[in-house]
Structure 1
Amino acid sequence: MPAVPPPTERVIARRRAVGDHIRAVRTAARRSQESVALESDMTLSQYNRIEQGHASPLLDTLIRISHALGVTLAELVGEEPRPATTGYADRPGR
């Protein structure tokens, strides 16, 4: 299996931005890292690495964190859903 290339600067910056947003959501909920980590079934170290932007968590992990904090996945990572513009339903006559 070929080696995975290291993440680009853009990916690293986005990872940090997501981690910062997760931290903001957690602190707004007045939760500790430890309590969220415990409820998300991960170690404090693993959770801290996500908030610091040093880890690339699996989707399942982000879902568990969003559930622990009582927010949607989009709210957790600070993303606004974009409307589909090129899908099958958008074609004329559909």
Structure 2
Amino acid sequence: MPRTPPTWVKQKRKELGARIRGRRLHANLTQEGLAERSTVDRRTLQRIEAGDSDPRYGDLLLIAEALGVPFADLVGCAPAGG
């Protein structure tokens, strides 16, 4: 039986999706274009951008590389030791 994540987790997923969408649009890419560059399925990208799924670490790495942005910037992590 799948468990329902807490509200704050859902909110963080939506924030991540919005960051990815913003970077994708800034790069003038469609979801299909980003899917081709990153090799992440377009439907998966759609669910990630909507905040409807927990993206796999590997998919996030591929998306960051395809967008030409540091992984930490994409996922919204502050640098360590800062």
Q: Does 1:69 align with 2:55?
A: no
Q: Does 1:11 align with 2:9?
A: yes
Structure 1 gaps, min length 5: 85-94
- Equivalent in the alignment of 1:37: 35
Shift of 1:4: 5.2
Q: Secondary structure at the match of 2:81?
A: coil
1:30-56 C-alpha deviation (Å, 9 max, x unpaired): 111111112221221111100010011
Q: How does 1:47-66 map to 2 (within 5 A)?
A: 47-66=45-64
Higher relative contact order (CA 8 A, sep 6+): 2
| Structure 2 letter corresponding to 1:66 | A
| Structure 1 vs Structure 2 CA RMSD | 1.6
| Structure 2 letter corresponding to 1:45 | R
- Equivalent in the alignment of 2:78: 80
Aligned length: 82
Divergent runs of 4+, >6 A: none
Structure 2 gaps, min length 5: none
TM-score w.r.t. the length of structure 2 is 0.88
| Structure 1 letter corresponding to 2:19 | H
TM-score w.r.t. the length of structure 1 is 0.78
